[in-house]
Amino acid sequence: MSGSTTRNFKANAARELANDTLRAALTKSKGHFTDGRTTAAENLPEFEALRDQSRDIKNHTIENLDFYLEAYEEKVRESGGHVHWARTAEDARQIVLGICRSVDAKAVNKGKSMISEECEINEMLEANGIRAVETDLGEYIIQLRGEKPSHIIAPAVHLTKGQVEESFRANHTHLDPDRVLEEPPTLLDEARTILRKKYFEAEVGMTGANLLIAETGSSIIVTNEGNGDLSQLIPKVHIVLASVEKIVPTLEDASTILRVLARSATGQEFSSYTTLSTGPKREGDPDGPEQYHVILLDNGRTDMIGTEFQEMLRCIRCGACMNHCPVYQSVGGHAYGWVYPGPMGSVLSPGLLGVDEAGHLPNASTFCGRCEEVCPVRIPLPKMMRNWREQEFEKHLSPGTARVGLGLWAFMAKRPKLYQLATGLQMRLLARIGHAKGRLSSLPLAKGWTKYRELPAPEGRTFQSRWKSGERPL
């Protein structure tokens, strides 16, 4: 898929690790998300039960996906809307373009949508002379900077306030240089002033969806800025671009999931705005779009059904896994090289891009398990990363040197006598080399280790040989 640099994960990561501003930005946001989630979870006695229910709702829906999608489609039609099926990102782009052209659109207002990123809608619009206006503050900022989101709910989390101010001053040339723009509220005000004007210029408004409801044919978005509401209410046409697994059976199910979503994401009990939209403007409605379109994107997701990765389709895109991931917190979202970073991306991206392209991601994990611990729908992320590693191993995609080393080790590990003989000798040798200092500062076969740390020398003889020769604790 175009636009992915996932293959270069190692180089990307090295570049990001050297970026001190990124480090400052991540350090600042980390505690905010993790402490927030902890408190929110502790304050709701039924939080764990709600996680179980959310998991079960999503499992049930995925097992009956065609049924609920068809039911949803019918409801959307009944309410006067249109449903379009997109097998691929290219299909989705063509459908969006077709709708825009049908109303001769010059500009599209956009609410935050990761599916739009996945389908590279902005690039397509611009290439066709249509302006894409991001209305979410974070998305707006990175659009100004020509960047990609680095987080699925906080797209500009990799930036500091200073960098945002810089971008505003560079782009909003009307700004009085003395105007204070240092704090998030003043930055938000400035963005609002610009965006409010633009809301009224666009012919098409496009949003994602946090949930789609089969029972009513509604789509739900949650935001903290209310930008999504304006994007979808003011223009003539509202396009909802969502992936198929966003569907849930009923409003009741949606409310169960919403109760864990914001708590897991930001630690809020509920996002500031939860907006349902069902069909176009009806007679007597004070406002609303004339046309309502839903584009349902598959793009490889249904291929995951029936495989060991099916459970990944439960993901509700809360971002908790990356907020708690020490690898994500070290390298930031851009290192992952595509739309979905962090643990969820490490499982999903190989599914959508292929394991040849995204093979690094499931390997770049210590399996510390924090992601699974906080995932509101209890996705066993480490287990699925291991499944990808197994596929890579079987396809011989893992590096040759690592395979030889591992093969040799496994050969020995399966032969205890030989193992004990060989390791006994090696350890005594290492102990002798590291004897004076108690540690080794460099070792040819352990460069990855000794580049950054000392290798503690072994004490001498192995435990097993000492035990066998009769040594016992005093």
Partner 1 sequence: MSEAPRVALFVTCLVDLFRPSVGFAAVKLMQDAGCTVEVPEAQTCCGQPAYNSGDRKDTIAIAKQVIAAFEGYDHVVAPSGSCAGMIMKHYPELLADDPDWETRATDLAGRTHELISFLTDVLKVENVAAAFDGTVTYHDSCSGLRELGIHDQPRQLLDGVDGLHLRELEDANVCCGFGGTFCVKYPDISNRMVSNKTEQIVATGAETLLAGDMGCLMNMAGKLQREGANVRVRHVAEVLAGMTDTPAIGEPSDGSAN
What residues make contact with ligand SF4 under the rule CB under 6 A?
A: 315-321, 344, 375-377, 379
With respect to ligand SF4, which residue has the nearer C-beta, 119 or 318? 318
* Cβ 352 vs Cβ 299: under 8 Å: yes
Taking each helix axis from N to C end, the angle separating 65-78 and 47-63, rounded to the nearest 10 degrees, works out to 90
Q: How far is the CB of 20 from partner 1 (least distance, A)?
A: 12
Q: What's the rounded Cα separation, in Å, for the pair 462 and 335?
A: 41
Query: Any contact of residue 369 with partner 1 (CB under 8 A)?
Result: yes
Residue 195 contacts which entry, partner 1, ligand SF4, none (Cβ below 5-8 A, type-dependent): none
Report how far residue 113's alpha carbon sits from residue 117's, in angstroms, rounded to the nearest whole number: 7
Find which of partner 1, ligand SF4, none residue 458 binds, CB within 5 to 8 Å per kind: partner 1
**Which residues in the 173-192 window bind partner 1 by CB under 8 A?**
none
Alpha helix ranges (H) inside 275-359: 320-323, 326-331, 342-353, 355-358
Contact partner, 376, from partner 1, ligand SF4, none, Cβ < 5-8 Å per class: ligand SF4
CB of 30 to partner 1, least distance (A): 10
Dihedral angle sign, alpha carbons of residues 397, 243, 157, 319: negative
Q: How far apart are CA 419 and CA 94, in angstroms?
A: 61
Q: Which of residues 314-333 bind partner 1 (CB under 8 A)?
A: 326-327, 330-331
Find, among 350, 352, 376, the residue nearest to 363 by Cα: 350
- Using alpha carbons only, give the angle 345, 349, 353 rounded to the nearest 5 degrees: 165
Task: Give 134's contacts (C-beta < 8 A, 6+ positions apart).
Answer: 110, 112, 122, 140, 142, 143
Contact by Cβ (8 Å): 150, 157: yes
User: Is the CB of 247 or the CB of 316 nearer to ligand SF4?
Assistant: 316
Among partner 1, ligand SF4, none, what binds residue 86 when CB lies within 5 to 8 Å by partner kind? Answer: none
The verdict on 370 binding partner 1 (CB under 8 A) reads: yes
Please state, in angstroms and rounded to a whole number, the distance separating the CA atoms of residues 160 and 180.
16
366: closest CA among 328, 397, 319? 328
Indicate the DSSP class of residue 452: T
Q: Binding partner of residue 390 among partner 1, ligand SF4, none, CB under 5 to 8 Å per kind?
A: partner 1
Which one, 81 or 376, has the nearer CB to ligand SF4?
376
The DSSP element (H or E) to which 131 belongs, if any, is strand 131-134
Instruction: Give the strand pairing for 211-213 and 218-223.
Output: antiparallel
- Return the range that interacts with partner 1 (CB under 8 A); candidates 93-101, 229-237, 312-320, 367-375: 367-375
28 binds, among ligand SF4, partner 1, none (CB under 5 to 8 A by kind): none
**Subset of residues 426 to 455 that bind partner 1, contact rule: CB under 8 A:** 426-428, 431-432, 435-439, 441, 446, 448-449, 451-455
What is the nearest approach in angstroms of partner 1 to the Cβ of residue 157? Answer: 17
Q: What does 170 interact with, of partner 1, ligand SF4, none (CB < 5 to 8 A by kind)?
A: none
Of 14 and 49, nearer to partner 1 (C-beta) is: 14
**CB under 8 A: which stretch of 105-113, 120-128, 311-319, 402-410 binds partner 1?**
402-410
Smallest separation, CB 27 to partner 1 (Å): 9
SS3 category, 292: strand
CB 137 within 8 A of CB 110: no
* Strand 218-223 relative to strand 273-277, pairing: antiparallel
| Shortest CB 429 distance to partner 1, Å | 11
| By CB under 8 A, residue 419 contacts partner 1 | yes
Q: By CB under 8 A, tell whether 408 contacts partner 1.
A: no
Which member of 13, 181, 258, 379 binds partner 1 (CB under 8 A)?
Answer: 13
Question: Of 159 and 321, which has the nearer Cβ to ligand SF4?
Answer: 321
CB 263 to ligand SF4: min, Å:
11
* Strand, helix or coil for residue 456: strand
